[in-house]
Structure 1
């Protein structure tokens, strides 16, 4: 697939002024307006909502509100089809080293992991990186962890087919994006959010059972299982309430500083 003339022009402009763009004075807002917006427009997305669609049906939401832990975060771009999120794009100024800097990669992956998105993109136009966001993000992960594609700006003309074949709006509508996501589903290290959460709950169950049994040796197996399950149910319920701002955040953590709590399993 041949790269459109708009992409060739962007590559030419960036190459001609690369020293200025990567010096640190060129900021993220400038990058988004001058390079990232037209890049994804060339992929067929209505980035500026030229068609005037209602909010619920826009192709692209800029700084989409997303709950990540106790805070509300805003990925730079959320690309959607029929109001359904497909992938995020996080833009960084070209002075950032996307290939090796762990912080931007962790930020993007955390956003997409929380939103249960299969793939998302990190770019400063100079670099274009795609991540499998079903791999649980850890702060100490290398920038290369879960990265499935990495392309430099001067490779866009020759590798445009790889990009457009997955991330063009037409490709998403035709199912190519979903097929790409599915092709990596069983790779080592990938885990859906729900599966990872269930696995984590099992570690809670084991730790709680050992702790409660140690402090309540008279409990029967039935009573012990009941106490463990009731505790887990209440923890999850409280965390959901905290996440939805129904209850103050970090109540469980605050309890650690208080007096010991006994469990009545009768």
Structure 2
């Protein structure tokens, strides 16, 4: 498929004005309006919603709002087919050199990975970069990590067929997008947000279970299971509330800076009981309420190091998660797998985790 004349005209106009753009005289909004909107129109996207579709089914969502680290950010473009987001594009002004811009790459990858997207684009029109968003973020990442395609605007003409095959609505519907991911994605170190989160909460369960069993010798196996489940559920619930703007960001994180972490965490749980009035936080008898209050977890002894490990893993830079972005169905799938295992106590009161008997018998959840 040859490049449309509209794209060739964009390349020519950019080339002519490039020295001026590099002096900073072209901001991101202008770039999007004058270059990227026409570029994506040429790929076949209804950038202006000329079809007058409802918000849920618009092909292109502009300035898609999300909350990242307690602040509302906006993704420049979200591209959707049948209402389902397929990839996003983050735009930068021409003066930004994207090839080595780690912050721009991490911004794109963090959102896309948490949203469960396979590929996404980072561009300032002059540079076009495609990232494999199945790769979770790591501290040692560079701007090139998970980047599977990179080329300048001068190559748009010869690469147009490949761009359109993968990123046009028609190409996505024909399966070329998914095929490109399977063929070109990084083969090692990939893990979806569901796999990574499941791995983390399973590690936290074992860490908590062993510490609770060690420091609270009189507990039964059932009590250890109940306590561990409640503590993890409460921490994750409050952390999700932070990312979604319901709780102040880093409220939990602030509790991990000093000693006596669990006592302060329990105080936060009691405040949540007053605020949410839910079964997850229920510590005292209430008139007309049949649920049995939790008198177990407030009495536990838990080492600071254990809680600090769990809490810090839920915040940047140790955490790759943006809970305002992770779809509810992914969290549900993770918990389905998580609840398929149970904590067992040995004769010496050491805790281990194994599949529930009914799960083993069925061959999995």
**TM-score in terms of structure 1 length:** 0.89
Counterpart position of 2:66: 66
- Tell me, yes or no, if the aligned pair for 2:60 and 2:79 is still in contact at 8 Å: yes
Which entry has the higher C-alpha Rg, 1 or 2?
2
Secondary structure of the residue that 1:78 maps to in structure 2? strand
Structure 1: distance between partners of 2:261 and 2:34: 58
Secondary structure of the residue that 2:30 maps to in structure 1? helix
Instruction: Tell whether 2:152 aligns with 1:178.
Output: no
- Tell me, yes or no, if the aligned pair for 2:128 and 2:150 is still in contact at 8 Å: yes
Structure 1: distance between partners of 2:197 and 2:246: 22
Counterpart position of 1:167: 167
**Which contiguous aligned blocks of 4+ residues in structure 1 show a shift greater than 6 angstroms?**
none
Counterpart position of 2:20: 20
Structure 1: distance between partners of 2:154 and 2:136: 31
Which piece of structure 1 moves more, 49-58 or 164-173? 49-58
Residues 20-77 of structure 1 show CA distances to partners (whole Å, capped at 9, x for unaligned) of: 1122221111111111111000000011122322222211110112243533321000
Counterpart position of 1:75: 75
The CA deviation at 1:243 is 3.8
The CA deviation at 1:169 is 1.5
- Tell me, yes or no, if the aligned pair for 1:106 and 1:139 is still in contact at 8 Å: no
Secondary structure of the residue that 1:76 maps to in structure 2? strand
The CA deviation at 1:226 is 4.3
Q: Which runs of 5+ in 1 are unaligned?
A: none
- Tell me, yes or no, if the aligned pair for 2:61 and 2:79 is still in contact at 8 Å: yes
Counterpart position of 1:155: 155
Aligned positions, number? 266
Cα root mean square deviation, aligned: 2.4
Instruction: Tell whether 2:148 aligns with 1:144.
Output: no
The CA deviation at 1:180 is 2.1
Secondary structure of the residue that 2:75 maps to in structure 1? coil
Instruction: Tell whether 2:63 aligns with 1:56.
Output: no
The CA deviation at 1:260 is 4.8
The CA deviation at 1:132 is 0.9
1:1-266 paired onto structure 2 within 5 Å: 1-138=1-138, 140-183=140-183, 187-217=187-217, 219=219, 223-256=223-256, 257=258, 259-261=260-262, 263=297, 264=299
Residues 135-178 of structure 1 show CA distances to partners (whole Å, capped at 9, x for unaligned) of: 11246521110111111100111111111110011111222112
- Tell me, yes or no, if the aligned pair for 1:102 and 1:140 is still in contact at 8 Å: no
Structure 1: distance between partners of 2:18 and 2:57: 36
Q: 1:95 to 1:140 in 2, by over 3 A?
A: farther
Structure 1: distance between partners of 2:225 and 2:58: 49
**TM-score in terms of structure 2 length:** 0.67
Structure 1: distance between partners of 2:63 and 2:243: 20
The CA deviation at 1:225 is 4.4
Structure 2: distance between partners of 1:185 and 1:209: 37
Secondary structure of the residue that 2:98 maps to in structure 1? coil
Residues 162-204 of structure 1 show CA distances to partners (whole Å, capped at 9, x for unaligned) of: 1111001111122211222344567112111100101111222
